[in-house]
Structure 1
Amino acid sequence: MTGGTRSRRVLLLLLLIGVAAPAASGVVTDGLLPNGDFEQGPDASQMNGTRVMSPNSIPHWEISGFVEYIVSGQKQDDMILPVPEGARAVRLGNDATIRQLLSVTRKKTYSITFSAARTCAQAEKLNVSVGPESGVLPIQTVYTSSGWDSYSYAFRARHSTVWLTIHNPGVEEDPACGPLIDFIAINTLNPPRREKGNILRNGDFEEGPFIFPDTAWGALVPPLDEDDVSPLPGWMVMSDTKVVKYVDAAHHAVPQGARAVELVAGREAALLQEVPTTPGRWYRLSFSVGDAGNGCAAPLAVEAYAGRATARVQYESRGMGGSRRASLEFAAAANPTRVVFQSYNHHMKPDGTLCGPVLDDVALVSVRRRARRLLL
């Protein structure tokens, strides 16, 4: 083989590899991912009924397993399959996966938000992974009357290109019984900061996952393990299967600023943060409790824990918005101190969806002298 022939073959091989390998677009910007709403779909020749047969037939996505391309209003038996926005979505059946290669900035932290709806499986969950990091999100509880919820997941980029993968690990008798997925977006998260005079980080909840501007249901923050990256910087959610809801002022009554947290799971989920404290020194924890103006009319209550001190703050809600300010003073027993909030009860709106008290504007400051614990 001559040198010229060998060079041409090597060049041809490289060109073939370049064609076959998926390419990431430029560094992602905050908002919807390329074809994150799945409005660009496969050709009819690449489908068998609703099932997508070719791994690369949905633009910007790679699929495997039993993946269906769903049109708004499509029926399965007596059930209408809804789409939250636009006219198209995908459904992940047995052992199905969708993934997209993203260009990101190394060492930055990002949050993924996507909308999911249950169909006919009972204990649905999704495995979301970016590179070596992964988390299992329970989606069997429905928090909206539409059936669609938006979930968030965060990661810290270890490389400049990463695979975002959403996988349905379930295996049902009907391979098409799996969750619908639509509207996948990304948001760059800034490091959790402390306001001047506030020991807590992100106490105003202004930094958090992407909330779709045209949806009124916020974004759910799932339970996290100790080593996970939180989509709500500075804060963790402790629970087995339940979540807290991140809400915006465009669609909810928010006590302060543009964002807040609605505690929708009663005592089954707790929002917490560990803060540096000096044992024996006194501190004041202050916060706002209210309702989201979403029809959650009930005697709401938030339980707050800081070290060994506890307080229950009640708010009589008419479901139309409003809040009250409360504080709790305590002596630190250790370093660090764990600050915890949870709803005292479960609550439902008239349409049967879960709701709860809104928490916002949380601050922790050191106080010079010992004072009795009090509520304002």
Structure 2
Amino acid sequence: MAESTSTRCLLLVVLVGAAAGVASGITEGLLPNGNFEQVPDASQLNGTRVTGLPSWEISGFVEYIQSGQNQQDGMVLAVPEGAHAVRLGNDASIRQLLTGLSRRAFYSVTFSAARTCAQAEQLNVSAGPESGILPIQTVYTSSGWDSYSYAFRARHTTAWLTVHNTGVDEDPACGPLVDAFAIKTLNPPHREKGNLLKNGDFEDGPYVAPDNPWGLLVPPMDEDDVSPLPGWMIMSDTKSVRYVDAAHHKVPHGSYAVELVAGSECALLQEARTVAGRAYKLSFSVGDAGNGCAQPLAVRVSAAYSSQVVTHQSQGTGGSRRGELEFAAIADATRVVFQSANHYMKPDGTLCGPVVDDVSLVTVRKPAARRRVFM
């Protein structure tokens, strides 16, 4: 009896300790000096080139850029957050040690980036052993700055967040600008009651800063990568989808949705458990983000061998309509796929597209067959 009581007490202590560890966690929002507003010492600056940054370690040709600064070609460099940003030259990188992580927990890192030279610039982002390539050659905003998201699963309580410019240009200083690094703990992908899909309303997702007016790009990923949008994958070579919030955009349901900004070159998808031969109904909202994308916005949705195009007649001011697709599963897993049916642009020439939200997948119950009564 005493041994049983002792065991229960020990188990309680372990559980309380584990809960406290999870609760302590990391603070959601900007990383220490995530917006580079802490100015380096004068001894660490040689013109714009910097040899040290508060809270960061640097390697290679790194520049400390002030908003409004001119390049040699006359291009004015703007900064999206505060007055300073960092430019990564040839093979340059910055890194910061993330602490207070919970093992096996999911995290998203968000930051802003702008291309300044080459057309095919890209960044290698890693946290621990996992890494991902973020293509930044496509510009989705009129300012030239886009915000990106990256996700990882912690293996330990600390991890090095590293951002590396893998490019090599004739000008060693040529490379992307980066700014506004933030972090958020993600909920593990899970299904809500009555929905076979996980995170069907997109309420679980990466950190969106309160002053971010253009949303977050969720870049393409390998199937084994951790998604910044729990439950969902983005399949493409170089294109992204955009995660938008209700504070700055029109959202059909809840606080967040996904805008398909890359035409048919990018697909938003999720694999759901199904039973071969059984009937299912996929329901979803298609709308516009209220960002001036005033044209008929079409989404192509497919599952198993069934597909359908749903069009929302957008005035560019918001609004949405419901769409449905019924299909019969052909396997024990079915991929639900959303793609923009066309490429769309706003009057300023920036990319836009239909918004997808409030997605649910349910089993269709067929009515029972009538019994014939013989007299």
Q: Residue in 2 aligned with 1:52?
A: 50
Shift of 1:27: 4.7
Per-residue displacement from partner, 1:9-32 (whole Å, max 9, x unpaired)? xxxxxxxxxxxxxxxxx9531110
State yes or no: 1:41 paired with 2:36.
no
Identity %: 73
State yes or no: 1:299 paired with 2:296.
yes
Shift of 1:317: 0.6
Q: Residue in 1 aligned with 2:67?
A: 72
Q: Residue in 2 aligned with 1:172?
A: 169
1:95 pairs, out of 91, 96, 99, with: 91
Aligned-CA RMSD value: 0.9
Give 3-state SS (helix, strand or coil) of 1:330's partner: strand
CA contact (8 A) 1:27 1:102 kept: no
Aligned AA (1:47): L
Aligned AA (1:32): L
Shift of 1:226: 1.1
Give 3-state SS (helix, strand or coil) of 2:282's partner: strand
- Name the CA distance, whole Å, in 1 between partners of 2:143 and 2:209: 15
Per-residue displacement from partner, 1:38-81 (whole Å, max 9, x unpaired)? 0002112211110012xxx2110000000000001000031001
- Name the CA distance, whole Å, in 1 between partners of 2:175 and 2:351: 23
Q: Residue in 2 aligned with 1:134?
A: 131
State yes or no: 1:348 paired with 2:345.
yes
Where do 1:1-376 residues align within 5 Å?
27-53=25-51, 57-77=52-72, 78-103=74-99, 104-369=101-366
- Name the CA distance, whole Å, in 2 between partners of 1:298 and 1:240: 26
Shift of 1:196: 1.0
- Name the CA distance, whole Å, in 1 between partners of 2:26 and 2:360: 34
- Name the CA distance, whole Å, in 2 between partners of 1:85 and 1:339: 37
Aligned AA (1:100): Q
Per-residue displacement from partner, 1:256-306 (whole Å, max 9, x unpaired)? 000000000000000000000000000000000000000001111000001
Aligned AA (1:85): E
Aligned AA (1:213): P
- Name the CA distance, whole Å, in 1 between partners of 2:112 and 2:142: 14
Give 3-state SS (helix, strand or coil) of 1:136's partner: strand
Runs of 4 or more, structure 1, over 4 Å off, are: none
- Name the CA distance, whole Å, in 2 between partners of 1:63 and 1:71: 18
CA contact (8 A) 1:267 1:342 kept: yes
Per-residue displacement from partner, 1:317-368 (whole Å, max 9, x unpaired)? 1100000001111111111000000000000001110000000000000011
CA contact (8 A) 1:305 1:341 kept: yes
- Name the CA distance, whole Å, in 2 between partners of 1:66 and 1:212: 29
Give 3-state SS (helix, strand or coil) of 1:153's partner: strand
Per-residue displacement from partner, 1:183-220 (whole Å, max 9, x unpaired)? 00001000112111100000000000111110111110
Give 3-state SS (helix, strand or coil) of 1:329's partner: strand
Can you give the 5+ residue segments of structure 1 that lack an aligned partner in the other structure? Answer: 1-25, 371-376
- Name the CA distance, whole Å, in 1 between partners of 2:172 and 2:208: 31
- Name the CA distance, whole Å, in 1 between partners of 2:183 and 2:307: 37
- Name the CA distance, whole Å, in 2 between partners of 1:36 and 1:202: 29
Q: Residue in 2 aligned with 1:19?
A: none
CA contact (8 A) 1:32 1:183 kept: yes
CA contact (8 A) 1:271 1:341 kept: yes
Aligned AA (1:66): F
Over 3 Å counting, the alpha-carbon distance change for 1:40 and 1:27 in structure 2 is: farther
